[in-house]
Chains A and B, each alone.
Chain A
Amino acid sequence: EAQVTQNPRYLITVTGKKLTVTCSQNMNHEYMSWYRQDPGLGLRQIYYSMNVEVTDKGDVPEGYKVSRKEKRNFPLILESPSPNQTSLYFCASSSRQASSYNEQFFGPGTRLTVL
Chain B
Amino acid sequence: AQSVTQLDSQVPVFEEAPVELRCNYSSSVSVYLFWYVQYPNQGLQLLLKYLSGSTLVESINGFEAEFNKSQTSFHLRKPSVHISDTAEYFCAVRLNTGFQKLVFGTGTRLLVSP
Map CB proximity to A onto B21-59 as digits: 1 under 8 Å, 0 otherwise.
000000000001000000000111110010100000000
For residue A75, CB closer than 8 A to chain B, the reply is no
Which chain B residues lie closer than 8 Å to A92 at the CB level? 102
Q: For chains A and B in complex, what number of residue pairs have CB atoms within 8 angstroms? A: 51
A19 to chain B, nearest CB (A): 20
State the majority secondary structure of interface residues on B.
Answer: loop
Q: How far is the CA of A35 from the CA of B6 in the complex (A)?
A: 18
Counting contact residues on chain A (CB < 8 A from B), the size range is 20 to 34
Q: How far is the CA of A97 from the CA of B104 in the complex (A)?
A: 23
A100 touches B98 (CB 8 A): yes
For residue A80, CB closer than 8 A to chain B, the reply is no
CB closest residue in chain B, given A40: B106
A101 touches B101 (CB 8 A): no
Q: Given A31-B100, A48-B101, A42 and B43 touching (CB < 8 A)?
A: no
A101 touches B32 (CB 8 A): yes
Cβ contact of A40, chosen from B9, B42, B43, B44, cutoff 8 A: B9
Top 8 A-B residue pairs of the complex, sorted by shortest distance between their CB atoms:
A42-B106, A42-B104, A43-B104, A106-B44, A108-B43, A106-B43, A109-B43, A42-B107
